[in-house]
Structures are given as C-alpha cells and as structure tokens.
Amino acid sequence: MSLVNYATREITCKIVYYGPGRSGKTTNLHYIYGQVPEDRKGKMVSLATQTDRTLFFDFLPLDLGTISGFTTKFQLYTVPGQVYYQTTRKLVLQGADGVVFVADSQARQLEENIESFQDLHANLAEQGIDARAVPLVIQYNKQDLPRDLILTPAELNDALNFRGVPEFGADALHGPGVFETLRSISELVLKRLSQPVK
Amino acid sequence: MSITAVEPWVEIPLRKFVEEARTVLGLLLHPSGQVVAQFGFARAVDVMSACALAAAIHASAGELGKQLEGKPFRGLHHPGRDRQLYLAEAATPRGTFIFLTVFDQESSLGLVRLYFDEFCKSLAAAAPPAPRRVEPVIEERFEQELNRNLAALFGRG
C-alpha cells in the first residue's frame, strides 16, 4: 500500500517490474536512470550475478515531484526472471502498489511470457492480493527486432492481456515505450489515492 | 541527532533509543521496504536504497532460516572494521517493522541489543490503532501534474 505521510506531505509508492528472464526489466530501469537528472534520483542498486543477470532485484528511487501538494516518490524494483528465483520474486513483490509486466515480444518466448504471467498471479494470490485489483500495465518489449522474429502487440494481447489493462510496445534499450509505460503505471497507482476508499 | 518519522508515534521511542544506545545511523521500515523513520542519513534517496537493501536482507535471512531451521532468522549482526550493523524485527500492534542501526566505537553490540529490546517494548506501547483511510489523498484531476512532472523528469518539458 502506498505510504502517505500527512505531516511531511509525502507519498511513497512501490512499483515492481515483473516478467520472464531477459525480457528487459533491468533495461527499463537503466533507461529511466539515464534519463532522470541527478537531483531527482538515488543510486541504482543492482544485486546481480557475475553474468549480470538479476539475482535479487534492481532498485531505483525516483523523486517524481509534487502532486496535489504531496512530494511523490516512486521506488522502482525489478524481480529476477529466471524460473528458479521464485522465492526472491515473492519477496520483492511484497507490498507492491503497482506492477509492470515486461513481456519479451519474440515469438519463441511466448511460453515463458505466459508462464511468468501465471507466476505473477499465483504469487499475488499467495499474498492474499486479488490480482484484478492491482494496478497493472503490460509492456511488449523488443518490438524493434525483425518482424519475422516477434509477435505483434495484438497477438501478444490475445495471449496475455485478458484483463484488458493498458499495454505498450517498447524498445527498452533505446527508449521507445519506456516513458509511456512508467507514465501509465504511475497514473493507475496514483488514481487509487485520488478515490475514496469504500 | 535529527529524526525524520513518517509515523509520528515512532519518534519518541526512536529518540530514546538513539540517545541511549549511541548509534550513528538508524532506519525503521516496513518489510516491503518503505521507510517509517530514519536518523543520520543526509539524502532521502539514500534512505530509500538503504530500506530496499535492509528489507532484502531481512526477507532473505528469514527465508534462509525457514529452510534451515524451520523458522526465520530474526536478527543479524555484522561487525565491520570501524562500524557495525545490527538488523532485527520489532513487533507492534501495527504490524512488524524492521529496524536497522549502524554503530561505531561509541557503542557496542551488547548496548544496542539491550536498548533495542527496550525500544521494541516502547514502540509496541506507543503504537496507535491503524487509521483507516476513507478520504482521497490527492485531487481527482492529478493527471496534468503527473504528466508535467514526468515530462520534466525525462527532459521532455
């Protein structure tokens, strides 16, 4: 749940980038890190293996500026995508206010995408969270690869986006789609704070 | 020592701990990595990184303990050359928090543990019932501000 400090008028939200191994979660954070001015970001922390695969998580704190008089801070996390890091994925997902699912658009990765998406839902359910209630955005990364290697966003939607959540094609390495994804998940997360709790 | 607390009720117990245990840095956080209070840090963004790492240590030590001994490890002490680190859980009626503190030769592990136990008791006693938010926190039409801030952040302003 977003942390709201009424005394200092600060909001802190946790956003987790989820998805199969090598889909581009860390690349999203690296791109964001490279774009944001020094005074608006903290150190990017990466707990990675010797081959640069995410071992525990990547973490990037961002100062989003003032919204409705509240200083708004986002904590961006990635999870390790490899199947065998199931336990760490659960730990990082704990307390997430929103999730970005980064899918690999390559046709040969479709099964991994579906498996990881199911894993996300199972892990949310295990924490007693209704997956339908969690702000979620899907990013179809690597849309810059040759057409014959990838699936289109429409084809990927058929396989993954049964909730009809916002989706974006992206090339996280060079930037297209990264900003739009972050903007969309930020909006969904903050929207929850703009509505009365029933 | 300047203390910044997101939840005001933690401030008095924390101040007492800082004064008595004479530690140099401290963080109280949610297990999800969200900061509740801190002292000794210069930049808010550094606090967030430290929280993320402390939550990770706590979570992984807990999981490792469960797998090895059937129950989570609840505390961690790391003796560095000049400074030492102590990390442990503090249970309160508002839920469990993680406490991380760093100390130097002005203090000792024994002293930190002794005052940490007292800190846990006073924290539990000070914890009010969890408030239930009913009113919106931010305005309904926040999108314009969000878009402007994000555009500025990405140099698109």
pLDDT bin (cut points 50, 70, 90) of residue B5 is confident
Nearest to A64 by CA among B142, B62, B60: B142
Residues of B in contact with A14 (CB under 8 A): 32-34
The whole-angstrom separation of Cα A12 and Cα B48 is 10
DSSP B63-123: HHHHHHHSS---EEEEE-SS-EEEEEEEEETTEEEEEEEEE-TTS-HHHHHHHHHHHHHHH
Write the pLDDT tens digit of every residue in B125-147: 999 887 776 678 888 788 999 99
- Structural domains of chain B, ranges and CATH numbers in brackets: 3-153 (3.30.450.30)
By the CB < 8 Å criterion, does A91 face chain B?
yes
Alpha helices in chain A (DSSP H): 25-35, 86-93, 110-126, 153-160, 178-193
Return the minimum-mean-pLDDT range out of A13-22, A167-176, B47-56: B47-56
Q: What percent of chain B has pLDDT over 90?
A: 51
The mean-pLDDT minimum among A96-110, B31-45, B79-93, B101-115 falls in B31-45
Residue A67, pLDDT score: 93
Question: Tell me, what's the pLDDT at A175?
Answer: 95
Q: Would an 8 Å CB–CB cutoff place B43 in contact with chain A?
A: yes
Prediction pTM value: 0.86
B130 touches A: beta carbon within 8 Å:
no
Model confidence at B67, pLDDT cuts 50, 70, 90, reads: confident
pLDDT class of A93 with cuts at 50, 70, 90: very high
Instruction: Read off the pLDDT of residues A111-151 as tens digits, 9 standing for 90 and up.
Output: 999 999 999 999 999 988 888 899 999 999 999 999 999 99
- Which A residues in the span 19-38 are in contact with B, Cβ-Cβ below 8 Å? 35-37
CATH entry, A3-193, from 3.40.50.720, 3.40.50.300, 3.40.50.2300, 3.40.50.1820: 3.40.50.300
Q: How many residues are present in chain B? A: 157
| CA-based nearest residue in chain A for residue B6 | A5
Q: A17 CB near a chain B CB, below 8 Å?
A: no
Q: Is the CB of A88 less than 8 angstroms away from the CB of B60?
A: yes
Encoded tokens for A18: 């989820």
How far, in Å, CA of A33 to CA of A49, rounded?
A: 20
Closest by alpha carbon to A180, among A7, A19, A1, A31?
A31
**Mean pLDDT on B3-19:** 90
Q: What average pLDDT score do residues B40-62 get?
A: 84
* pLDDT for position A82: 81
Separation of alpha carbons A196 and A179, rounded Å: 28
Averaged over B18-45, what is the pLDDT? 88
- Could you identify the residue written with the tokens 């303990």? B65
Q: A32-75, pLDDT tens digit by residue?
A: 999 999 989 888 888 877 676 777 888 999 999 999 999 999 99
Task: Return the domain boundaries, chain A.
Answer: 3-193
**A68/B contact by beta carbon, under 8 A:** yes
At position B42, the amino acid (one-letter code) is A
Read off the pLDDT band of A26 (50, 70, 90).
very high
Number of Cβ pairs < 8 A linking chain A and chain B: 137
Residue A198 has pLDDT above 70, yes or no: no
Does B113 score more than 70 pLDDT? yes
Q: What is the pLDDT of residue A54?
A: 75
What DSSP designation does A120 have? H
ipTM over the 0.85 cut-off: no
B137-150 as b/e, with b when 16 or more CB fall inside 10 Å? bbeeebbebbeebb
Which chain A residues are Cβ-neighbours of B8 within 8 angstroms?
7
The percentage of residues in chain B with a pLDDT greater than 70, rounded to a whole number, is: 96
Which among A67, A92, A96 has CB closest to B146? A67
At residue B77 the predicted structure's pLDDT band, cuts being 50, 70 and 90, is very high
Task: Judge whether B76 and B99 are in contact, CB under 8 Å.
Answer: no
pLDDT at A8: 79
Question: Cβ separation of B153 and A64 shorter than 8 Å?
Answer: yes
Confidence class for position B1, pLDDT limits 50, 70, 90: low
* pLDDT for position A101: 98
Q: Does B114 touch chain A (CB under 8 A)?
A: no
**pLDDT band with cut points at 50, 70 and 90 for residue B41:** confident
Interface residue A157 vs chain B (CB under 8 A): no
Interface test with B, best of A14, A77, A181, A194 (most B CBs within 10 A): A194
Could you tell me if A85 lies within 8 Å of chain B, comparing CB atoms? no
The answer to whether A7 contacts chain B (CB < 8 Å) is: yes
Choose the weakest-confidence range: A100-104, B44-48, B148-152. B44-48
